[in-house]
Amino acid sequence: MKQKIIAMLKADGGYVSGEKMSQRLGVSRAAIWKNIKALKDDGYSIEAVTNKGYRLLQVSDVINEYEIKSGLKTDFIGQNVRFVYETDSTNNEAKRNFHMSDGAVFAAEIQNGGKGRLGKGWVSSEGDEIMMSVLLKPQITPAAASQITLVAGMAVCRALKEYGAVIKWPNDIVINGKKICGILTEMSAEIERVNYIVCGIGINVNTAAFPDEIADKATSIYAVTGIKVNRCSIMRRVLEEFEALYKTYTVSGFSPLINEYKTVCVNIGKNAEAVFSDGRTVHGIAVDVTETGELVIRTEDGDISVSSGEVSVSGIYGHM
Ligand code: BTN
């Protein structure tokens, strides 16, 4: 019922009387009023004027299953959405629901245990950001899973292209040298076979101020443009780009995508310092990204390839 009311208000754009709604939807005016109240509680701004009716004041920046899917042009990614207002981590939410369909999307407004790469946390502010995870069930080997991370990074980069987004290997999305999006890919696998992959995407959309620790490293669409944007429309763009790239990847592998990846990857040709999880470091120039998603660093002792799971790379913009 709530979705039908929102659809009517959006389609009309102006005032829709309670009577018209109750006739169209075949329910009492009291039921309409009750649902309007529930929609307001969900965060929609709806004006009620006597003798005119109800009007949706703005395309409210509300995240829910209906808003994410409304107008989404995909075949399977995001066709099944589970939104929970608060969770520990949308990646965990996806893992707990791994039986759901390929391409299912899990989103939240608050993460109280958001996870970042290399065991770090991920802090986000309520109402301003995108926190979502895509459950994927590709027929690939565990070794190939890191490529999905690159595919996801490319999808976000395409979706945020108009704001000047580029990729810092492996998949930090950066604008003007500051991070706007982080991606955490997790996997359940057997020796030869991936059971499922969870690709968690965090995007700073309307964030006006960041905590002191990351204030000089983080940015948002709002910080770049001064304009607040609708988060679900950004989500849909990401999901649509993700599906297009993922379809190519699952049919033909990463090779048709590598050139585009390298074009938007800012590391190539720049200094690189890789810090391994055991504390070892190597210095050199980043010269390439391999088709398996490793960064090739030219050091005094020759080229070494580093994989995204084991290192943090700086050289440009520091360790983000
Ligand atoms: C990083 O750059 O360190 C990766 C950050 C990934 C954050 C996203 S937000 C949605 C999903 N859920 C999580 O707990 N993490 C990812």
pLDDT in tens, 179-214: 999 999 999 998 888 999 999 999 999 999 988 888
Distance 134 CA to ligand 1 centre (A): 12
Q: Is 35 in the pocket of ligand 1 (CB under 6 A)?
A: no
Distance 97 CA to ligand 1 centre (A): 18
Distance 233 CA to ligand 1 centre (A): 19
Query: Would the pLDDT of 33 be above 70?
Result: yes
Task: Point out the ligand 1 atom lying closest to the alpha carbon of residue 171.
Answer: 2
Q: Is 217 in the pocket of ligand 1 (CB under 6 A)?
A: no
Q: Is 153 in the pocket of ligand 1 (CB under 6 A)?
A: no
Distance 136 CA to ligand 1 centre (A): 16
> Are 96 and 79 within 8 A, CB to CB?
no
The mean of the pLDDT values for the chain is: 89
Distance 113 CA to ligand 1 centre (A): 10
Best-predicted range by mean pLDDT among 13-27, 45-59, 90-104?
A: 90-104
Q: Is 106 in the pocket of ligand 1 (CB under 6 A)?
A: no
pLDDT of residue 175: 96
* Mean of pLDDT values over 150-162: 96
Token pair for residue 194?
């991936």
Token pair for residue 312?
């943090």
Quote the percentage of the chain above a pLDDT of 90.
55
Runs of H (alpha helix) within the chain = 2-12, 18-25, 29-41, 65-69, 90-96, 145-159, 221-225, 231-252, 255-264
3 state DSSP class of 38 = helix
pLDDT of residue 256: 93
pLDDT of residue 195: 94
Q: Is 142 in the pocket of ligand 1 (CB under 6 A)?
A: no
Best-predicted range by mean pLDDT among 51-55, 64-68, 89-93, 303-307?
A: 89-93
Query: Would the pLDDT of 316 be above 70?
Result: no
Q: Is 315 in the pocket of ligand 1 (CB under 6 A)?
A: no
Listed range (50-59, 121-130, 299-308) with the worst mean pLDDT: 50-59
* Mean of pLDDT values over 226-250: 95
Query: Would the pLDDT of 127 be above 70?
Result: yes
Q: Which of 129, 128, 79, 133 is nearest to 107 (CA)?
A: 133
* Mean of pLDDT values over 58-68: 83
